Structure 1
Amino acid sequence: MKKKFILLYIIIFILIYAFFIEPFSIKKTYLKINENIEKPIKIIDISDLHIYKYIFFHDKILENIKKEKPDIILYTGDSIIKNTDKDSLNKFFNKLSQIAPVYAIYGNWDYYNLKMVNDVYNANNIHLINDNSISLYFDNFSLKLIGLPIYKKISYIDTTSASYTIVLEHIPDTIYYNKEIFDQANLILAGHTHGGQVYIPFLTEQLIKKYAFYLRGKKILDKNKIMYINRGLGSWYNIRLFSPPEILIITISHN
């Protein structure tokens, strides 16, 4: 009988943690890139907001980003769910855009209400680079950002040379529809997987592998390219276990 109560307490604790604690925690991850650059560039990478209503957690996200004092913010899509409150979405991106310039692409969920997403992005000067590219200049260092569309090749391939090229995609496998972009890339940033969301080693990877060839974190690909899959900020059904919301801080600096 005692063992049954212990097991029951463990299950209750896990459920409380998974529904009410971990989904509202934030894990910062740091990635350092060594390049021939005079002044460091700090970049924040976030993904998968999935906002319904603006709550304390979104203030927490913004405060953590603001503390890092980024030069730019990169966002790899999935801002909404089916019943997102537009004012809440607008409030988040308004505050985010006041921290640093934001460059974004669409996620698959954004297509449920693309008009809402576009209205909010336009109102808050969010630079949409979906199916496009842009070059930014930091003194003599050029940073090219390429935004891949979902499940297809990019419409226009910018072959302008750059000091460093970052590719934004939502679904990790999309890069393999775009060999020319892969060849250009130094760093590939993706989201979509939520890091498994409920992460049980091996089992979660087997269940999710048809959606992404790996789940989360840093991976070195062919030709020494770096790929990073962000665990994202929001979640389905507001549950996370061993896969906390993530803010990735990238620093490009001289070794």
Structure 2
Amino acid sequence: MDKLLIKQCLFHGSWLVFAFMAWLLWRMRKPGHRVLAMVALAGCLVFAWARFVEPQVLRVRTTTLVGTGARADIALISDIHLGVYKGRGFLERLVQRLDALPVQAVVIAGDLTYEPQADDLGTLFEPLARLRVPVYAVLGNHDQQAPGPDIDRPLREALMRHGVHIIEGRIVEDAHGFRWAGLGDRWARKDDPGFVKAAPSAKPTLVVAHNPDSAMNLAPADAALVLAGHTHGGQIRIPWLYHRVIPSAHGFDRGEQFAHTPDGAVRVFTTTGIGEIGLPLRLFNPPTIDVLHLRP
């Protein structure tokens, strides 16, 4: 509760930056304080952008991936993190944007929540029911285990009630000639790909995982492509510094990369996510919907 209170104070107290900026403008009238006030004002403007503007931007980034064996157009999102910093209103905007895209499916690669009220999950995620295309999802560490609280069961029930297909631990055939497979969260030790390895197929398999590090347990024969999130691309993407906060043990960041496993290179695409954790800030890294054109 104390940590939640601190986050809420930070989120709402950050509005005071505008009062501080007004005070700095007043101080700039005095020549002796002008340079220092201008520097502080520039810092406040960057903070205001990262707090109030960029987290509300919804960027659509399009990538064509050739050689996946599949032909499909999908929208990949992750890390929506509804709860402390983002609410249902933002999800409604996100759904409206997704519904306007020429895609065949929406994939949510985990971390849908960030300390929400467990008894409000049904209402919170109701906008997802309006999507006109199938929605495939797995859960992430903030939904299942670390850092908690564990809302795995009520979240699954709420999502399924709104038509979302939770595909963890199972394989789903797609009408377009490929398969979906879902891995659970790696930090919760629920990403065992044994069920994928036990069901080889001539059809390409698209594996959805929250943590891109889960690709290290796969072989090229298991997955034509791994779709993941978790990293936020650093969230606050300050050059040379953001790498230190990316939660990947194998150097995954964002976009297309390869997991170099003992069995060969596994293709991975990591999206930078929609929401925020820790600080309610995004910088040089707006919330992103990745539209992937998969081509054989």
- Contact 1:54/1:88 (CA < 8 Å) preserved in 2? no
1:43 to 56, 74, 81: 74
SS at match of 1:43: strand
User: CA-to-partner distance for each residue in 1:22-60, whole Å, 9 max, x for gaps?
Assistant: 10101111121336999x522111101111263443232
Moved more, 54-63 or 44-53: 54-63
Tell me the CA shift for residue 224 of structure 1.
6.1
The 2-side partners of 1:119 and 1:214 are apart by 31
Provide runs of 4+ in structure 1 moved above 6 Å. Answer: none
Output the aligned Cα RMSD. Answer: 2.4
The 2-side partners of 1:252 and 1:208 are apart by 27
Unpaired segments ≥5 residues, structure 2:
1-32, 145-149
- AA in 1 matched with 2:183: L
- AA in 2 matched with 1:247: I
1:31 to 63, 84, 89: 63
User: Judging changes above 3 Å, is the alpha-carbon distance between structure 1 residues 127 and 87 closer, same or farther for their aligned structure 2 residues?
Assistant: closer
User: CA-to-partner distance for each residue in 1:132-167, whole Å, 9 max, x for gaps?
Assistant: 2212122xxx21112112234234124342443211
- Contact 1:54/1:92 (CA < 8 Å) preserved in 2? no
2:282 to 236, 240, 243: 240
Would you say 1:12 and 2:53 are equivalent positions?
no
Matches within 5 A, 1:104-119: 104-111=137-144, 112-119=150-157
- Contact 1:77/1:191 (CA < 8 Å) preserved in 2? yes
Matches within 5 A, 1:85-234: 85-95=120-130, 98-111=131-144, 112-138=150-176, 142-151=177-186, 152=189, 153-157=192-196, 158-176=198-216, 178-180=217-219, 182-208=220-246, 211=249, 213-222=251-260, 225-234=266-275
The 1-side partners of 2:178 and 2:164 are apart by 18
The 1-side partners of 2:288 and 2:223 are apart by 23
User: Judging changes above 3 Å, is the alpha-carbon distance between structure 1 residues 137 and 207 closer, same or farther for their aligned structure 2 residues?
Assistant: same
- Contact 2:91/2:125 (CA < 8 Å) preserved in 1? no
User: CA-to-partner distance for each residue in 1:113-135, whole Å, 9 max, x for gaps?
Assistant: 11221111221221111122212
**TM-score normalised to structure 1 length:** 0.86
User: Judging changes above 3 Å, is the alpha-carbon distance between structure 1 residues 30 and 122 closer, same or farther for their aligned structure 2 residues?
Assistant: same
The 1-side partners of 2:169 and 2:244 are apart by 30
1:79 to 107, 112, 115: 112
- Contact 2:61/2:288 (CA < 8 Å) preserved in 1? yes
- Contact 1:194/1:230 (CA < 8 Å) preserved in 2? yes
Q: Which residue of 1 aligns with 2:293?
A: 251
Tell me the CA shift for residue 102 of structure 1.
0.8
Matches within 5 A, 1:56-71: 56-71=89-104
Percent identity, aligned pairs only? 24
Q: Which residue of 1 aligns with 2:5?
A: none
User: CA-to-partner distance for each residue in 1:157-192, whole Å, 9 max, x for gaps?
Assistant: 24342443211111111111x234x43222111111
User: Judging changes above 3 Å, is the alpha-carbon distance between structure 1 residues 90 and 207 closer, same or farther for their aligned structure 2 residues?
Assistant: closer
Unpaired segments ≥5 residues, structure 1:
none
The 1-side partners of 2:66 and 2:110 are apart by 27
SS at match of 1:183: coil
Aligned length in residues: 246
Tell me the CA shift for residue 242 of structure 1.
1.2
